[in-house]
């Protein structure tokens, strides 16, 4: 039974049409991964830009903590719409919030480090 299945698989993989189909699927998957990575990198870049804007607004308007979230999200949405022409979907907003939270944690860790 196993030998029969193995011989069928080997025969199929020896077929040029099957090889072309497998290659096409692999290339399509690779293209999707690259496109997704570029999109995520761009969204994170916009989130960092929006975070820095919110920090500036926090200093100017005396905002603290969560009060800076509105300027952050407003800036992120505006920049996303400038680039993509549509409002950011929930996935983009989630990626942006995660990037912002990581930046807040990194900044907080830097400010609490005590040099010896």
Q: What is the pLDDT of residue 8?
A: 85
pTM: 0.73
For 19-47, the pLDDT digits (tens) are 888 889 999 999 999 999 999 999 999 99
Question: Mean pLDDT of all residues in the chain?
Answer: 90
In terms of C-beta density within 10 A (0-12 exposed, 13-18 middle, 19 or more buried), how is residue 48 classed?
Answer: middle
User: What is the end-to-end Cα distance of the chain in Å, rounded?
Assistant: 69
- Is the pLDDT confidence value at 114 over 80? no
C-beta separation of 96 from 47 below 8 A: yes
């Amino acid at each position: 039974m196993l030998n029969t299945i193995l011989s069928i698989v080997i025969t199929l993989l020896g077929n040029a049409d099957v090889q072309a189909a497998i290659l096409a699927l692999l290339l399509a998957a690779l293209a999707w991964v690259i496109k997704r990575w570029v999109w995520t990198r761009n969204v994170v870049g916009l989130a960092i830009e929006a975070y820095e804007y919110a920090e500036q607004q926090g200093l100017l308007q005396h905002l603290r903590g969560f009060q800076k979230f509105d300027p952050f999200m407003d800036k992120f949405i505006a920049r996303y719409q400038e680039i993509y022409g549509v409002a950011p979907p929930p996935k983009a907003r989630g990626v942006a919030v995660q990037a912002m939270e990581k930046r807040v944690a990194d900044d907080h860790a830097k400010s609490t480090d005590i040099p010896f």
